[in-house]
Amino acid sequence: MRSILVVLAVVMTSGLCQSAFAETALTGRWIKDLAQQPLLDPQTSGLTFRKGELIAVGDQSADESTRMKLFRLNPQTGQAITAPIPITVSDQLKTSCFYQYLSEKPDLEALTWDRIDDTTLITVTEDASNFSLTPECARKFAKTNSTLYPSLLVKIQVDPALTRAEIVALRPVQFPLEAKLGNFPNDGVEGLAVDSHLNLYLAVEQDIANKPRIFKTRLTSDFWARDNLVKVIDANLTMPPLDDADHPINGIEFIPSPLQGHPGYLAAVARNDDELWIFDLTNRVPPYVQKLSFYVSTDDSGLCQPYDKLVQTALESITYHDGMLYLVNDPWKQHYGDNIQCGTHADKFKSMSPLLFQLNLDPRWFSPLRSKVQNALPAVSGLASHDGVSYLAVQDKKIQRPGDRLISIQLAPNQPPVHQPLYVTNWPAGQMASDLEALCALPGRPGEYLAAESGTWQGAFGRLFHLKVFPSYAQVLGSYELPVERDNTPQSDGDNFEGLACASLAEQNYLLILGERGGAGQPGFLQWGQLNLASSTLSWNSQKLLVSGPTGVDSAVYPRKIADLYLQNDVLWASAVADNGDNGPFHSVIYPLALVNPSQPQPVNLMAQRPVFWRLDGLKIEAIAMPALSVEQAALMVGSDDENYQGVIRPLQKTSLSPYGTVK
């Protein structure tokens, strides 16, 4: 089979999606039966991958010979592996309210399996407009908030060798009232997918506003044993920008993420648009829209073009396996003949024979960061240089606050700083950070950092995270416990660690210096520990160095003695701040706090004189880092957490004493 790949630049004007997309051209293979003849009008509506085979199903408009059948297909050739397998209905369902519909001419519209038992296939019904519920059944199942006759999730039990298929259970679906789906029997559920957490997604062609929708429910252990309506909820996935025309979703499939801890993606077939929509299940980014065009090869006679471009494909089924998407169309009877051009395949188009297409996954679909670059900087509570021109920053959002915990800040010569959020995967036990207040870069390990929460809260949190930062996301490599002097509770303040510095001891061994900020009338303190990445252990020294703040100033002016730490050569710098509430005013000073020698038994020693080097009124400096390479005469870079005023990042001018301490 010849293949073609045509990439066309397609420019999108909407700011909600990627600004430029490539159109990918796919060449189809005719799906054939055991006699090598094109499959006769199966009206393929569902597709899944099982044990090295494609399993397909068709809807109620299929030819009688191919209706209510499962088709086992070779994924590489589209060739039937066995004769079609009839789908029967279990006698156990004869008392069901829905037996008559299932046993006569059900409209099966999707196919997946439950990710636990590959002998359990799941399909769904759509058009049942010629059937009605008995009064007794209506009292129990009529409240669908959608069609008069419910959409049915259907369990098909197959044997391990897939020689028989039987409908053994079903669940009618209730949609949320606020979804406003309306009563559209032929515009219902057309896609099903199950993710790795056993969430079942249902794609609906359109709601009353003519927009596609995606819902979900949970496949619990007793899902099929229950005899009531399945209440699905909105999956809260943002759709691409759509006009008022019809843009139905006609098939969906789950694609696992290569990023540990990421929930994965849904690939959706938009039949009318000849597009794939790739939804990130975090919904942090708009969907990627992949334009498609479809071709079929002709013959070698020289009388025809090598390929005919299909003018009407009606793509409807999609499944995934090992980096490959498999797609099958559902020939539209009124228009499939429009594809007859040279005449080579006229008989196949007239027989409504479907085509199998293959598409490799595109890494661009799965970038976890496609959000807009922003100029206005949020408040930052820790800062570390990434590569001399960009910085990693942390934010101190508490656990009840959603949103990003890490941001990447880029500096360019003569340009304002810009930033983007970083998605973080693999939070321990799925629990994201709460109140990140300190950050340091691990020496000798490019792109790796340690970030610390402020302390424990009622016995929880108080964690130190080992992070690896990639171009568009970050991953938690491990987590450790911070020392606990005082637990935070609703009744009393506890530890508030706001500074963290890292120094190398030996290969995979690091000295960590933690700074507790202190408060009104209370000194702060330094405490150090040793991190061994090889053994994943962290031990804290019991000794604490009390910190009263900079010398030469009234310590009461700056109640928080340590708002951040930064180790430059052998000098440990600190910021001390005054915080008069979320609207300020704020005051900050930067001062040298201690000398550090990791090889000594006591590696940290307070300086007797700790003069103020920089004074910054109006800012609450909670982040200190090395200066940017692009900023001449800069001694340090600082960032602020100015609460309701957000934050800024600024270089500090070198002084006559710069550099301070022993330069290594």
3-state secondary structure of 224: helix
pTM: 0.65
Q: Does the fold of domain 382-653 match that of domain 7-366? A: yes
587 near 569, Cβ under 8 Å? no
Helices assigned H by DSSP within 43-178 = 99-104, 135-141
**pLDDT score, position 5:** 30
CATH number for the segment(s) 382-653? 2.115.10.20
**pLDDT score, position 11:** 27
Distances (CA, A) of 184 to 105, 340, 624: 18, 32, 59
Burial of 459 (0-12, 13-18, 19+ CB in 10 A): exposed
Rounded distance between C-alpha atoms, residue 340 and residue 642, angstroms: 67
3-state secondary structure of 302: coil
**pLDDT score, position 618:** 95
Q: Which fold has domain 7-366?
A: Tachylectin-2; Chain A (2.115.10)
* pLDDT, averaged in runs of 10, over the chain (664 residues): 29 34 85 95 96 95 94 97 97 95 94 93 94 94 93 97 97 94 88 95 94 95 94 93 92 90 91 94 88 87 81 94 96 90 87 96 75 78 92 93 89 87 85 94 96 94 94 89 93 94 95 94 94 96 95 91 96 96 94 96 95 95 93 92 94 78 50
**pLDDT score, position 602:** 95
Rounded distance between C-alpha atoms, residue 419 and residue 498, angstroms: 22
| pLDDT, tens digit (0-9, with 9 covering 90-100), for 559-605 | 999 999 999 999 999 999 999 999 999 999 999 999 999 999 999 99
Domain locations along the chain: 7-366, 382-653
Helices assigned H by DSSP within 546-617 = none
Sign of CA dihedral 105, 109, 114, 115: positive
Rounded distance between C-alpha atoms, residue 131 and residue 133, angstroms: 7
| pLDDT, tens digit (0-9, with 9 covering 90-100), for 272-324 | 999 999 999 988 788 999 999 999 988 766 678 888 899 999 999 999 999 99
Neighbour-count burial for 418-453, b at 16+ CB within 10 Å, e otherwise: bbbbbbbbbbeeeebbbbbbbbbbbeeeeebbbbbb
